[in-house]
Amino acid sequence: MREKYREMKEITHKDYLEFIKEKTAVIIEDVEIKLQKNWNIKSYGPPRDYTPERTTVWSFPDRGDWATHKGNYRGNWSPYIPRNLILKYTQKGDWVLDQMMGSGTTLVEAKLLERNAIGVDINLDAVMVARDRLNFSYNPLFSEYKEPIVKTYWGDARNLDKIENESIDLIATHPPYANIISYTKSKKLSDDLSQLPFEEYLKEMRKVAEEAFRVLKPGKICAILIGDTRKHKHYVPIALRVMRWCA
């Protein structure tokens, strides 16, 4: 039953401009993230000698700091990861979904690579960070570039009510690793997966998977990055447990 979860509400560029009139920063977990408003971008892609990954073990020369990518949002993934996924599994004009978008890394890469994108996050402040990092113009030397549609929503990954069945070409997302990082620590949102006990987190991740399956086109790819952890000196295989629950 999706009805019990927060419905998706679109957050537009206009909403972002109103937000930054009153706030210059937000707090994610314990970290203050300043909203740039204006970006001084030095490059729009990885080093020229970088080539996409071709094996099952991916290794990158650095974290990746081109365009508006920054590592100050705890737990966000390297832009090399969505870049590789987008290039490998989509074509220009396809639709990419990141239903736990955090700071918007996937969406920035989709914008640079001419893929339409939808981003969703349970934390409104995170949505504003993503909109902040999408707030740049990209005018490459070649004139064929066509700016894609990029939409952001305040909502729950368990209720993608504004997305039609079988409409997404690629899902690329990076969920919280259970409650290792509390993304709404200062707000204590009850519908935030990173606030849940581990066993409950696993159950809710199955609901995330069910919604992902509903919106993904048949035969298309859902790519999820989840890390493991240790607790009281014991290894906790979060990724394996999630896969078992979602099977």
- Please give the pLDDT value at position 53: 92
Lowest-pLDDT range of 110-124, 134-148, 163-177, 214-228:
134-148
Q: Based on DSSP, count helices (H) and strands (E) in the chain, helices before strands.
A: 6, 10
- The better pLDDT of the pair 96, 174 is held by 96
The answer to whether residue 231 scores a pLDDT higher than 90 is no
Task: Read off the DSSP letter of residue 40.
Answer: -
Give the count of alpha carbons within 13 A of 196, CB side only. Answer: 16
- Mean pLDDT rounded to a whole number for the chain: 89
Pairing of strands 234-236, 229-231: antiparallel
Tens digit of each residue's pLDDT (9 = 90 or more) over 119-148: 999 999 999 999 999 999 998 877 789 999
Mean pLDDT of all residues in 83-101:
97
- Please give the pLDDT value at position 183: 59
Pairing of strands 150-154, 9-10: antiparallel
Mean pLDDT of all residues in 203-221:
95
**Could you count the other beta carbons within 10 Å of the beta carbon of residue 192?**
19
Could you tell me the pLDDT band of residue 11, with boundaries at 50, 70 and 90? very high
CATH class of 9-44+66-246: alpha beta
- Please give the pLDDT value at position 1: 46
Task: Report the C-alpha gap between 243 and 231 in whole angstroms.
Answer: 20
The predicted model scores a pTM of 0.92
* Type of residue numbered 141: L
The answer to whether residue 197 scores a pLDDT higher than 90 is no
Give the count of alpha carbons within 13 A of 50, CB side only. Answer: 17
In terms of Cα–Cα distance, which of 28, 25, 61 is closest to 45? 61
Instruction: Please report, for the chain, the start and end positions of each structural domain, with discontinuous segments joined by +.
Output: 9-44+66-246
